[in-house]
Amino acid sequence: MASGTLTTSMTPVGARCATPVARPRPRAVARALNAALGPRLYRLLRRSQWAATTEMRDRRFTWSEKMRSWRHGFLADSAALYDFPRNDWREYLSDYVRENQGVLINGAPGLFDQKLMLRSLLLRHGFAQAETFALIGRADAQLDPLGIATRLVSLAQLDEAMRLDGGPFIVKPQDSGYGYGVALVETREGQLVRRRGQTSRPYAARPARTTTLIERVVPQHAFWSELYPQAANTMRLLTLWTPGEPAPFIAAAGQRIGASDTAPTDNFHGGGMAAPIDLETGTLGYAVRRKPSGRPERLIHHPESGARIEGVRLPHWDVVRETVLAAASVLGIARYVGWDVLVDAAGTPVIIEGNSNTGVRVLQLNGGLMKNPATRRFYEACGVL
Q: Do residues 62 and 295 make contact, with C-beta atoms less than 8 angstroms apart?
A: no
Quote the pLDDT of residue 93: 95
55 with 174, same domain? no
- For 85-120, the DSSP string reads TTS-GGGS--HHHHHHTGGGT-S-THHHHSHHHHHH
Quote the pLDDT of residue 106: 84
Closest to 158 in 3D by CA, of 196, 119, 201, 214: 214
- For 299-344, the DSSP string reads ESB-TTT--B-TTPBPTTHHHHHHHHHHHHHHTTT--EEEEEEEEB
Q: Which domain holds residue 198?
A: 132-216
Q: Is residue 376 part of a domain?
A: yes
Distance between CA atoms of residues 196 and 211, nearest Å: 19
Partners of residue 39 on adjacent β-strands: none
Domain boundary residue, one of 181, 216, 251: 216
Domain boundary residue, one of 183, 216, 249: 216
Quote the pLDDT of residue 24: 45
- 10 Å CB burial of residue 64 (0-12, 13-18, 19+) is exposed
Q: Is residue 257 part of a domain?
A: yes
Closest to 46 in 3D by CA, of 54, 304, 119: 54
189 with 273, same domain? no
HSE of 104, CA atoms in CB hemisphere, 13 A: 18
Quote the pLDDT of residue 47: 64
346 with 236, same domain? yes
Distance between CA atoms of residues 308 and 301, nearest Å: 4
298 with 354, same domain? yes
Q: Is residue 35 part of a domain?
A: yes
At residue 216, what are phi and psi to the nearest 5 degrees?
-75, 140
205 with 309, same domain? no
Tell me if residue 43 falls in helix, strand or coil.
helix
Closest to 181 in 3D by CA, of 166, 194, 168, 192: 194
245 with 335, same domain? yes
| Radius of gyration of the chain from its Cα atoms, rounded to whole angstroms | 22
- Number of domains forming the structure of the chain: 3
275 with 136, same domain? no
59 with 207, same domain? no
Amino acid at 30: A
156 with 56, same domain? no
Distance between CA atoms of residues 77 and 293, nearest Å: 9
Distance between CA atoms of residues 119 and 172, nearest Å: 14
208 with 262, same domain? no
Q: Is residue 224 part of a domain?
A: yes
DSSP state of 220: B
Q: Do residues 17 and 382 make contact, with C-beta atoms less than 8 angstroms apart?
A: yes
Distance between CA atoms of residues 152 and 138, nearest Å: 13
Distance between CA atoms of residues 185 and 197, nearest Å: 12
Q: Is residue 152 part of a domain?
A: yes
Q: Is residue 19 part of a domain?
A: no
Instruction: Report the CATH number that the domain containing residue 359 is assigned in CATH.
Output: 3.30.470.20
200 with 239, same domain? no
Domain boundary residue, one of 216, 234, 261: 216
Q: Is residue 53 part of a domain?
A: yes
Quote the pLDDT of residue 7: 41
Q: How many residues does the chain have?
A: 385
Distance between CA atoms of residues 372 and 356, nearest Å: 21
Q: Is residue 292 part of a domain?
A: yes
Q: How many other C-beta atoms are found inside a 10 Å radius of the C-beta of residue 92?
A: 24
- For 222-273, the DSSP string reads HHHHHH-TTS---EEEEEE--TT-SS-EEEEEEEEE--TTTTTS--GGGT-E
- pLDDT tens-place values along the chain, 385 residues long: 444 444 444 444 445 565 444 444 445 655 665 666 566 665 666 666 666 676 777 788 888 888 888 889 899 999 999 999 999 999 999 998 988 887 888 888 888 888 888 999 999 999 999 999 999 998 899 999 999 999 999 999 999 999 999 999 999 888 765 556 788 999 998 999 998 888 889 999 988 778 899 999 999 999 999 999 999 999 999 999 999 999 999 999 999 999 998 888 898 988 899 999 999 999 999 999 998 888 899 999 999 999 999 999 999 999 999 999 999 999 988 899 999 999 999 999 999 999 988 889 999 998 999 999 999 999 999 888 8
Q: How many other C-beta atoms are found inside a 10 Å radius of the C-beta of residue 145?
A: 19
244 with 375, same domain? yes
